Amino acid sequence: MNIFSIIKKKQLGLEHNSKELNFLISSYVNNEIPDFQISAWLMATLLNGMTKKEMSLYTKEIINSGEKINFDYLNTEYIIDKHSTGGVGDKVSFILGPILASIGCYIPMIAGRGLGHTGGTIDKLESIPGYNTNLNIEKFKSIVENVGISIIGQTKEICPADKKLYLLRDLTGTIESIPLICGSILSKKIAEGIKTLILDVKFGNGAFMGTKKDAQKLGEILKSVGEKFNIEVYPFYTNMDQPLGNSCGLWCEIQESIECLKGQGPKDLMEIVTYLAINTLKNLKISDPQKKINQVIEDGSALNKFQDMVHSHSGEIDSLYDKKTNKPKFFKYIYAKQNGYIESMKTKDIGYSLIEIGAGRKNKLDILDNTAGILFYKKCNFNVKKGDKLAKIFCSNEIKLSKGYDLLKKSIILNNRI
């Protein structure tokens, strides 16, 4: 068996067997196959897809490339995780996770970095001074047990195959492949030892799935494959035709999440958080979900849970409330050039403008700028007057700021009819 024959088989649209996928994944993890050959296989998979049987086998091989966690000793069914398929300004995990943990759930979350135009959960968390996303399994389990929630990055121990493939997919234009998405998402979640997975499947011009129909197709496949590994999978579908919340970037999204946990977050963001939280609790047969959600926000329990997680990961709690933390050196405003309303936003381009200013990577060696981000004052369907501020873009590199600004101002589409 050799990698060339495996590539050719997928180029012909044929189904891989377990031995072939085992050879492919194990050889790549052991550095016996170069990136350029795996890239060829990734592209063939993007173009020709996989059967459901293949997806299950592929997911299994990624799981088996590392260790698996077991939380059975907690003696509870409330071991859950949430995953979003990616968007712009999507900070739901930082709000939903602490809320659910405050209500008695355990949230072991292994998250990723930025992928394509979408922001990365781990990149955002690492904008918190001191926050360590690279924990070993025992430390991770201890925080989940004692705090109720821990969010870490992919480790050498958990799904190392996905860690390598994740970066390569980003750099080879193979992100949108449903089989590759399925294997990447489910392998980490199954290896976490969860009982239930809540899926926030995004659709729209800022998502990998352009239409709700495409999103539903992905959700159904993830549910079908996930259930073969004995986890309950509940897909929900939310719109990404504009950024979620008012802030997009790194540190600014952490700040907005804190405001949400105080009960002062943007309406569109809190609507999705509440929607996912209520449905999660209903599926777990937990009574009075809305009342419980309101209570943990009003009494500060959810915010305290977030702070406890940050502290347990060696993050500096005081930095969360220090206005000098990650303060950008440069900023520019986008102004309305006419009276009218915001007809639409090119959300994917907004994501690319964030990459230009350093909130995302063009290649895997790029160093992120934690100060980088965008603040929106007006979003879709808002009436505006000529001269109104629409958005503020900021970072700590003036040249990068100009490039991001040029792209951002073309991403907000005004209509002059009121």
pLDDT digits (tens, 9 = 90+) for 102-131: 999 999 999 888 877 888 899 999 999 999
What is the SS3 assignment for the chain?
A: CCHHHHHHHHHCCCCCCHHHHHHHHHHHHCCCCCHHHHHHHHHHHHHHCCCHHHHHHHHHHHHCCCCCCCCHHHCCCCEEEEEECCCCCCCHHHHHHHHHHHCCCEEEEEECCCECCECCHHHHHCCCCCCCCCCCHHHHHHHHHHHCEEEEECCCCCCHHHHHHHHHHHHHCCCCCHHHHHHHHHHHHHHCCCCEEEEEEEECCCCCECCHHHHHHHHHHHHHHHHCCCCEEEEEEEECCCCCCCEEECHHHHHHHHHHHCCCCCHHHHHHHHHHHHHHHHHCCCCCHHHHHHHHHHCCHHHHHHHHHHHHCCCCHHHHHCCCCCCCCEEEEEECCCCEEEEEECHHHHHHHHHHCCCCCCCCCCCCCCCCEEEECCCCCCEECCCCEEEEEEECCHHHHHHHHHHHHCCEEEECCC
Domain at 347, CATH number: 3.90.1170.30
The pLDDT value recorded for residue 418 is: 56
CA-CA-CA-CA torsion sign (318, 331, 366, 91): positive
| Residue 340, in any domain of the structure | yes
The pLDDT value recorded for residue 362 is: 84
Q: Which of 259, 291, 320 is the endpoint of a domain?
A: 320
Same-domain status, 187 and 278? yes
212 belongs to the catalytic site: no
Checking if the pLDDT of 242 tops 80, the result is yes
Which of 20-24, 74-78, 331-335 is the least confident region? 74-78
| Residue 349, in any domain of the structure | yes
Nearest alpha carbon to residue 240 among 200, 203, 198: 203
Which of 118-127, 170-179, 320-329, 387-396 is the least confident region? 170-179
The catalytic residue among 81, 162, 200, 369 is 162
Rounded CA separation 18/104 (Å): 39
pLDDT > 70: percent of the chain: 100
Span 300-325, average pLDDT: 97
pLDDT band at 330 (very low <50, low <70, confident <90, very high): very high
| Residue 162, in any domain of the structure | yes
Checking if the pLDDT of 206 tops 60, the result is yes
pLDDT band at 416 (very low <50, low <70, confident <90, very high): confident
Span 346-360, average pLDDT: 96
Tens-digit pLDDT profile for residues 271-310 = 999 999 999 999 999 999 999 999 999 999 999 999 999 9
| Residue 59, in any domain of the structure | no
| Residue 400, in any domain of the structure | yes
Rounded CA separation 377/292 (Å): 31
35 belongs to the catalytic site: no
| Residue 55, in any domain of the structure | no
Query: Considering its fold, how many domains does the chain have in total?
Result: 3
The pLDDT value recorded for residue 112 is: 82
The catalytic residue among 113, 117, 141, 188 is 188
The catalytic residue among 10, 16, 60, 83 is 83
pLDDT band at 1 (very low <50, low <70, confident <90, very high): confident
The catalytic residue among 65, 93, 177, 184 is 184
| Residue 325, in any domain of the structure | no
65 belongs to the catalytic site: no
Checking if the pLDDT of 147 tops 90, the result is yes
Same-domain status, 198 and 276? yes
Same-domain status, 345 and 262? no
pLDDT band at 193 (very low <50, low <70, confident <90, very high): very high
The strand pair at 247-249 and 232-239 is best described as: unpaired
| Residue 56, in any domain of the structure | no
Same-domain status, 359 and 293? no
Same-domain status, 228 and 92? yes
162 belongs to the catalytic site: yes
- Which domain does 353 fall in, by range? 330-415
Checking if the pLDDT of 208 tops 90, the result is no
Same-domain status, 316 and 341? no
Same-domain status, 120 and 252? yes
Alpha-carbon Rg for the chain in angstroms: 21
313 belongs to the catalytic site: no
Domain at 30, CATH number: 1.20.970.10
Checking if the pLDDT of 345 tops 90, the result is yes
Same-domain status, 312 and 337? no
Same-domain status, 239 and 128? yes
The catalytic residue among 10, 60, 169, 313 is 169
Checking if the pLDDT of 64 tops 80, the result is yes
The pLDDT value recorded for residue 4 is: 93
Same-domain status, 237 and 260? yes
Same-domain status, 313 and 184? yes
Q: Which of 269, 297, 320 is the endpoint of a domain?
A: 320
Span 195-202, average pLDDT: 94
Q: For residue 5, with 0-12 CB atoms within 10 Å meaning exposed, 13-18 middle and 19 or more buried, which class applies?
A: exposed
The pLDDT value recorded for residue 166 is: 82
Same-domain status, 153 and 263? yes
